[in-house]
Amino acid sequence: MDKSDAVNVQTENVPVIDLNLTINENPVKVQVEPTARLVDILRDELQLTGTKISCGIGRCGACSVMIDGQLVNACLTMAYQADQTSITTIEGVSRDQEMDPIQKAFLEEGGFQCGYCTPGMVMAVKVLLEEVPVPTEEDIKMALSGNLCRCTGYGGIIRAVQRMAAENSEVR
């Protein structure tokens, strides 16, 4: 087999699509393969490295982002699926240096150690609290069951969410 030919075939045959996204309220245009993973687009193309990658198969939640308000694993989202959507990543959660109350709660309750699961965890908690401002134990377990943390044993994370729940129930 002629090697250079084989290679040419390979590179030439890869189509690219124009992706139009809104990321953290900013319009973004990128050219990528239709099957590129959103997590790679975020991390490598756009250098939004707050979104992490750990398992790559939808089991750990380190890559959690919000697409049109829904929590998704960016490692399971293909470029073409993300086209024309509005994405919020961890970088979009705290605006102008002002932390989200969820982030403050994580800070104060020891909801992180190495911090690698934290962006995904914060995203999952954000989605949870938007839906259920005062979650029960069951709600918390359900909502965070797709996010693994190896450091904390979840104690600090649970305390952070409970603090938010307490604050939310006072407001009501």
Partner 1 sequence: MQQMKASEKRNRKRPDGPDKVTGRLNYLTDLHFPHMLYGKIKRSAYPHARILSIHTEEAEQLPGVRAVVTFKDVPGLNAFGIVTPDQPVLCEDTVRYVGDAVAAVAADTKEMAEHACSLIAIEYEPLPVVDDPAEALGAATPKLHPDGNLLHKAHFYKGDVDDAFHKCTEIVEETYQVPRQMHTYMETEGGVIVPEPDDTLTVYVGTQHGYKDRFQLSRILNMPEEKIRIVSSPMGGSFGGKDELNIQPYGALLALASGRPVKIHQTRQESVISGLKRHPMRITMKTGVAADGKIIAHKVDILADTGAYSTLGPAILEFAVEHSTGPYVIPNVKTEGVSVFTNNGVAGEFRGFGGNQVTFALEGQMDRLAYRLDVDPLEFRRHNLRETDEIGPIGQRIASTDGAYQVLQSIKEHRQLKIKEENEMPDKWKVRGIGTAITMHGGGLGYGRLDPAGGRLCLKESGKIEAAFGFEEAGQGILGVIETIVTEELGCSVSDLSVVIGDTSLVPSSGSTTASRGTSMVWHALQKMKEPFCKLLIEKGEALTGVEGHRLQTGKGGLVVTAHDGEEIPIITYEELAQQSTEEEMTTSTNFDFPTTPDPIDSGHFLYTFGAVLAQVEVDLLTGKVKVIDLDQAIAAGPVVNYLGYKGQIEGGGVMSLGYTLLEDALMSEGEYMTQNLDAYLIPGIGDVPFTMKVEAIETLPEDDPYGPRGVGEIGSVAVAPAIAKAIQEAVGYWVRRLPVSSEEVLAEVSKRRINPWTKAMQ
Q: Which is nearer to partner 1, 84 or 95 (CB)?
A: 95
| Gap between the Cα atoms of 164 and 170, Å rounded | 10
Could you give the strand order of the β-sheet that contains 26-32, starting from the edge strand earlier in sequence? 26-32, 17-23, 86-88, 64-67, 70-73
Least distance from C-beta 69 to partner 1, angstroms? 19
State yes or no: residue 157 binds partner 1 (CB under 8 A): yes
| Gap between the Cα atoms of 43 and 108, Å rounded | 28
Residue type (1 letter), 164: M
Least distance from C-beta 112 to ligand FES, angstroms? 4
| Gap between the Cα atoms of 9 and 34, Å rounded | 18
Which residues in 42-61 contact ligand FES (CB under 6 A)?
53-56, 58-61
State yes or no: residue 56 binds partner 1 (CB under 8 A): yes
Token look-up 């240096």 returns: 97
Among 20, 83, 130, 155, binds partner 1 (CB under 8 A): 155
Among 22, 24, 94, 113, binds ligand FES (CB under 6 A): 113
Residues for the chain: how many in total? Answer: 172
Among 24, 86, 113, 168, binds partner 1 (CB under 8 A): 113
| Gap between the Cα atoms of 143 and 1, Å rounded | 52
Among 73, 77, 85, 89, binds ligand FES (CB under 6 A): 73
Give bridge partners of residue 142 from the DSSP assignment. Answer: none
**# residues near partner 1 by CB under 8 A:** 61
Residues within the interface to ligand FES (CB under 6 A): 53-56, 58-63, 73, 75, 112-118, 149-152
